[in-house]
Amino acid sequence: MEVKINKEIRDYTEGILLGLSLRQCLFSFLACVMAVIFYFLFIDRLGMEITSWLCMISAAPFAALGFIRYQGMNAEQIVVCVIRSLLIKQHNLIFKPQNLYYEYLKDFLKIKRKESIDPNDKKLRKIKKTKRK
């Protein structure tokens, strides 16, 4: 007997606070902490507008780490895959087609071609004569 289970069940995460998972809560908290740190560091030196932009820019990577999922990978796994594929294992892939069926039957095909050629064929004799010159 087979029991069918929906694929969405595998992606189930329990909501801890406001419907967010534990991972999302932690990274949201880190994003808020970074924004507060940047606010208090730069509010006196740069003014309100630039400081608010710096707070958003500093919080964005941490928020992304908590919420981004692509093909079942978290954000840090995506970054590792990108670094590995673009920087570490960078090489050109060259496609060289190989006909295994032809390689296997090459000898047999040569024999069949020789057998199919008629030695009394006039056109074939003319081609041989022109090649000898």
What is the DSSP code string of the chain?
Answer: ------GGGGG-----BTTB-HHHHHHHHHHHHHHHHHHHHHHHHH-HHHHHHHHHHHHHHHHHHHH-EETTEEHHHHHHHHHIIIIIT----------HHHHHHHHHHHHHHHHHS-TT-HHHHHHHHHHH-
Q: Which of 10, 9, 5, 6 shows the shortest CA–CA distance to 72?
A: 10
pLDDT, position 28? 86
pLDDT in tens, the chain (133 residues): 777 777 666 666 666 667 777 778 888 889 989 999 988 888 888 888 888 888 888 888 888 887 877 887 888 888 888 888 887 777 777 888 888 888 888 898 888 888 777 666 666 656 555 655 5
pTM above 0.75, yes or no: no
